Amino acid sequence: MYTVKFYKGEYLERQSAANTDKAVAYVEHHFNSAGPTANYALVVVGSNASQTSVNWGSWYAKAVAEQFGTQVYRPDGVARGGLDGRGDGNVKHTTMPAVLLEPLFVSNPQQAEIVRSAAGQAALARILAESIRRFFPQGGLIAFSVGHKYKTGRPNDRGAALAGGGAEADYAEKVLQQAAALLTEAQRETQARKLRVMQGDRLLFETPVDEDAVVVWSSDRQLLYIPD
Amino acid sequence: MRGPLRLVVAYALSLAFALQAIAFAVDERPATGTLRLQLWFSNDRLNPDAMDCRAVFPVERRVPMTRGVAAATLRALFAGSTPAEAAAGYRSVFSPASAGLLKGVHIRNGTAYVDMHDLSQGLSGATSSCGAAEFQAQVLRSLQSYPGIERVIYAFEGKPRSFYEWMNESCGPVNDNCDSGPFGAGR
């Protein structure tokens, strides 16, 4: 079972608060920016990162690259300690596995279009949620941080401009919000009681039923029913 | 001229150039003629996937002679690539919008202290992982066109902490713990 909390303020404050809350995983979402032809997924982990952070980041970067037909930052999609230390301070102060995501280049017009599109945001959210379920199957509190946005020192910072319009941080926030919904709604669905009709391993029919509903099989009527 | 002697002369000339460049950085007296600058930019043709974000490539510019060579170099760099250079793939986070970025520069013991106006809003992408690496590589390599400069410490409005926090970099030994002393009025 997952709960998701968005952390705001300076990056160090966000990490400290997530530590206090005993989050099981920490995600800070950015997008990268360079030239119009830059074309790879990058995940920054702290200089003190655990192997879980490295594996999680690498899995995520490869999944994004496969989804959008791009590359990963060589060799495995992960920059340990960031590029020349940049981004290290955004994740190295957590006591739980932490990643800083830069899945696409918003300076690349094709990738900026993906970031602006509902389908692109949904795909990024799905990959992120799937990565969390895969690496933290036991559930728990997931800490989300929108890169650039909500810093007290620079409240107007929105990160890089997208080629063609828009700001990095606003789209990072949309992706995180969708990922949060996937993580929390999925569990509501799985928690809900369902009536399933199966043929072998194949699902023929599925419908939610009330938690306290009594389901009765009538051999006379050849009917499965819920009495009034 | 025999080999060793040639080396000595070359060393002496480069030392003289270095001393001149350092002197130029602090001497504001008018000068005459033109000055040839070497600026380093990213290039989408020579490094198309930007896998190495620190890869930068030189272009040459001629500007009116000045004794503030380092400042002239940074002013030219901060104005970005020319249309002709851009057509050849040279690219930068700097643009005409950031032409007024430089507040001052001075060099001491191999360190260039670059003080900038806080125009961070006009430097889109400069704080992404790759954009930040490009920013710093372009400045460092352009200043290293002149001998004797080993590293650069940056500040916004005299405050290194303000710059490095914007850059998502911690204050530590690499940036002298964001010591604002070298940028102070009394330096």
Q: What residue spans define the domains of chain B?
A: 25-183
Find the chain B residues whose C-beta atoms sit closer than 8 A to any C-beta of A: 42, 44, 48-51, 53-54, 91, 120-121, 124-125, 127-134, 136, 165-170, 174
DSSP structural state of residue A162: P
Per-residue model confidence as pLDDT tens digits over B29-40:
556 789 999 999
Residue with tokens 């795909």: A123
CB B50 to CB A157 under 8 A?
Answer: no
> What distance in Å separates residue B10's CA from the closest CA in chain A?
34
**pTM of the predicted structure, to 2 decimals:** 0.81
Top mean pLDDT of A220-224, B69-73, B144-148 is at: B69-73
At residue A63 the predicted structure's pLDDT band, cuts being 50, 70 and 90, is: very high
Decide if A4 contacts A146 (C-beta within 8 A): no
By C-alpha distance, the chain A residue nearest B171 is A89
Q: Does B128 sit within 8 Å of A33, measured CB to CB?
A: yes
Is the CATH code 3.40.50 the one for domain A2-191? no
Q: Among partner residues A39, A153, A156, which is closest to B49 by beta-carbon distance?
A: A39
Q: What is the pLDDT of residue B119?
A: 82
Nearest to B49 among A37, A79, A90 (CB): A37
pLDDT at residue number A138: 96
Residue A177: name the closest of A1, A5, A41 by CA: A5
Strands (E), chain B: 34-43, 57-64, 90-91, 102-108, 111-116, 151-156
Q: Residue B125 and residue A160: Cβ atoms within 8 Å?
A: yes
Sign of CA dihedral A181, A183, A186, A190: negative
Mean per-residue pLDDT, A123-132: 97
Cβ-Cβ contacts under 8 Å for B87 (sequence gap 6 or more): none
Query: Among B165, B166, B169, whose Cβ lies nearest the Cβ of A85?
Result: B169
Q: According to the model, what pLDDT value does residue A62 have?
A: 97
Identify all chain B residues contacting A74, using CB atoms and an 8 Å cutoff.
51
Number of C-beta neighbours around residue B118 at 10 A: 17
User: Is the CB of B49 less than 8 angstroms away from the CB of A106?
Assistant: no
- B104 in Cβ contact with B177 (< 8 Å): no
CB contact under 8 A, A157 and B166: yes
Q: Which of B124, B46, B129 is nearest to B92 (CA)?
A: B124
Q: What is the pLDDT of residue B10?
A: 43
A11, A40, A84: residue with CB nearest B133: A84
- Which residue among B130, B167, B174 places its CB closest to the CB of A32? B130
More confident residue, A87 or A191: A87
Contact B42 A30 (CB under 8 A): no
Nearest residue of B to residue A165 by CA position? B124
Which tops the pLDDT comparison, B185 or B17? B185
Which of A88, A107, A110 should we substitute to test contact with B (largest number of B Cβ atoms within 10 Å)? A107
Cβ contacts from A onto B, under 8 A: 103
Nearest to A33 among B130, B165, B174 (CB): B130
Higher pLDDT, A186 or B60: B60
Taking CB atoms and an 8 Å limit, are A154 and B169 in contact across chains? no
**What is the pLDDT, as a whole number, of residue B20?**
43
Residues in chain B closer than 8 A to A88 (CB atoms): 169-170
| CB nearest to B49's CB, from A44, A71, A153 | A71
**pLDDT tens per residue across span B162-173:** 999 888 888 999
Q: Angle CA(A10)–CA(A15)–CA(A16) in degrees, nearest 5? A: 95
| Domain segments of chain A as ranges | 2-191, 194-225
The mean pLDDT value for B87-103 works out to: 95
The verdict on a CB contact (< 8 Å) between B51 and A74 is: yes
